[in-house]
Chains A and B, each alone.
Chain A
Amino acid sequence: MANKIVQKDQIKNLLNKVAQSSQLIAPIKSDSITTFRPVSSAEAVVLDYQNGVIPPKDFFFPQSEKMFTYNINDPTWDIREVEGVPERVLFGARPCDVKSILLLDKVFDAEFRDNYYLDKRNKTTIVALSCNDCRHTCFCGAFGISPDTAEGADLLFTDLGDKYLVEVLTEKGEKLVNSAKEFFADDDGSGAGAKAKATEMAKAKQMQISLEGVKEKLDNMWEHPIWDNESLRCIGCGTCTYVCPTCHCFDIVDYNDQSAEGYRYRCWDSCQFSNFTRAAGGHQPRPSKKERIRQRFLHKLRYFVDRYGDFGCVGCGRCLEKCPVNLDIAQIITKVKEVG
């Protein structure tokens, strides 16, 4: 499908129409923080935001997710899986976060396909929004991602001032356009040029980091003072993993509120916590912050590449922005390139 144009003064009407037939998930501002939330009307949606504090990962792999319910007094336990999600549209995801969903696919849509994830994934149309501006912590370019392309999205919107350019990338995207045809006009051919101009600043402003040779170096940096040095100031809070769009570790827990009815849920967990790998009998392969920091960086920059053929980071910059002690993956990459 050829590129389309949506007038800016029509965007909220378009979103309201979308919200009538699907669940709409979009960025809203709450207590000065921009986050993705299901919204029933477009009124609260903000579209001139820099990337949100928490990625939209939550809508595919929730921070806490009920898997099934049971009754411990029932002789058969009466296990029932919880219902899936309705059809939904995720609107306004940034290119790095869209790419992170492709990385999560590699984990959840693999051997032992994870139906809780796939249900949400299959029922979600992803509408990406190019970045016209970016944060000082962004470095998506290092991973071959760009503020104005969105591999993994169904539609890509770019803010051109008074209108949006809409690139239709998949059939799912085309379906969405056809369901609200009246809002989409044909692009007269000037869209691409205007888009390049609109996203110029984001490209220029982000940190320019190259990953050349980093994986190869890390293959031989198991024992290196960098892990001791960097881990000294880490306080093991786990923030870095909780704000990360690609982190996928979870725990599985049963919950009973003093009653017979209970449920089993999974919730995000973090490799930065000491009990993450502590096993029965006291076996602890990662006894100190050194091993845990090393695990996080090697997982993103080495193990994920070996296992899935891509880096496990998209350069969104959230971990370095939110870390209370400024442990910075971008700096680590730079330091790795400098050392031996």
Chain B
Amino acid sequence: MSCNCNTREVASPLLPYIATVNKIIEETPTIKTFQVTFDEPGILENFGNKPGQCAMLSILGVGEGMISITSSPTRKGMLEFTIAKVGRLTSVIHELEVGDKMAIRGPYGNHFPFEEMKGKNCLFVAGGVGLAPLRSLIDYVLDNRDDYGRVDIVYGARCYDMLCFKYDLFDRWPKIKDTHVHVTLDREDPKWDGRVGFITLDWLQEICPSVENTVPVTCGPPIMIKLQLENFKKMGFKPEEIITTLEMNMRCGVGKCGRCNIGEKYICVDGPVFNAAQIQKLPPEY
């Protein structure tokens, strides 16, 4: 008989599950989407991720990183992560092939207010890889199409090759009822005959002339978020109606390692989703 006086009573929240990569999509030269499933049966079914939540991905021997779950929970049987190659861990992840392993723990953080948004029009505004977290909400809304009003997806990237999810933007989403995709590039590009320029107030007002019964949600690099929050306010949205996400460097994801605080909030457990009224109350440290 083995003695169990040394075993612990709670399972560690820092212990990952093993998953296998099923599919890899090259979004841009530096961004790939990885579709994975857990090896152990039952884990995925009980994962319970909601749109906007994140997970801690790791390669044993390399390290961990927080990544948004880009697939909607309405898409069963897998999780998707869209990952930009920026450093040590993400470079190793980019080398993975179908059949390779990843370690995953989560889901972490709060989520987009997808329940409260029911019956409303959605104005989604994203920049660059910021479309990744937003995509979980977009697909959730579009998979429950009749529960929501008009959907506008506004997306900007630096150049054509930097656009993520081209198959969604140009093939899948525009075919869905009352769903309108608006793409812009920062600069002229030989591969592009669409709009050129940033996501401006004028353009947003053209796309969404009335703020009535509409929820604006924005994700992207910090500078873009700051700009869009201002634009939304100028359009007439109230701060508590404006939804966005904040990002801080993270290690634990469970409110303990002390790395991701803004004021008394830990972005990993209290965020990443906040409304503009909540953000106004935080110290301006993001």
Contact = CB atoms under 8 A, between A and B. Distances in A.
Interface of A: 67-68, 70, 72, 75-77, 79, 81, 83-87, 107-108, 110-116, 118-119, 122, 222, 247-254, 256, 262, 264, 266, 269, 271, 276-281, 283, 285-286, 291, 295, 298-299, 302-304, 306-307
B258 A271 contact: yes
B255 A67 contact: no
B87 interface: yes
Contacts of B248: 277, 279, 285
A115 B8 contact: yes
A306 B247 CA distance: 21
Nearest to A113: B10
Given A108-B256, A299-B261, 13 more contacts: A84-B8, A86-B5, A115-B13, A116-B14, A250-B252, A252-B257, A253-B63, A264-B60, A276-B249, A276-B259, A286-B285, A306-B263, A307-B264
A115 B262 CA distance: 26
Contacts of B249: 276-279
Contacts of B86: 280-281
Contact of B254 (A111, A285, A302, A306): A111
Nearest to B65: A280
B256 A79 contact: no
Given A254-B63, A278-B249, A112 B254 contact: yes
Contacts of A254: 58, 60-63
Contacts of B5: 86-87
B60 A84 contact: no
Contact of B257 (A75, A249, A278): A249
A-B pairs with lowest CB-CB distance, top 6: A249-B258, A112-B254, A306-B264, A303-B264, A112-B13, A280-B86
Contacts of A279: 247-249
B84 to A, nearest CB: 8
Contacts of B269: 111-112
Contact of A119 (B8, B254, B257): B8
A122 B14 contact: no
B77 interface: no
A269 B257 CA distance: 8
B251 A250 contact: yes
B80 interface: no
Nearest to B40: A76
A271 B58 CA distance: 24
Contacts, number: 144
A116 B12 contact: yes
Contact of B60 (A70, A81, A107, A285): A70
Contacts of B264: 302-304, 306-307
A76 B9 contact: no
A65 to B, nearest CB: 10
B11 A222 contact: no
Interface residues of B, number: 48
Contacts of A86: 5-6
B6 to A, nearest CB: 5
Given A70-B60, A277-B259, A285 B12 contact: no
A139 B18 CA distance: 49
B252 A252 contact: yes
B256 A68 contact: no
Interface in B67-83: none
B12 A81 contact: yes
A283 B258 contact: no
A303 B261 contact: yes
Contact of B15 (A79, A111, A118, A298): A79
A115 B10 contact: yes
A264 B263 CA distance: 29
Contacts of A222: 283-284
Nearest to B249: A279
B62 A118 contact: no
A84 B249 CA distance: 29
Contacts of B251: 250-252, 269
B201 interface: no
Interface in B1-28: 5-16, 18
B258 A77 contact: no
B103 interface: yes
B47 interface: no
Given A111-B254, A252-B252, A79 B16 contact: yes
Nearest to A256: B61
Given A110-B255, A249-B257, A303-B263, A77 B18 contact: yes
Interface hub of B7, B86, B101, B259 (most chain A Cβ within 10 A): B259
B192 to A, nearest CB: 24
Given A79-B18, A86-B5, A306-B264, A67 B12 contact: yes
Contacts of B119: none
A244 B86 CA distance: 34
B263 A250 contact: no
Contact of B61 (A72, A84, A115, A280): A72
A111 B13 CA distance: 10
B11 A115 contact: yes
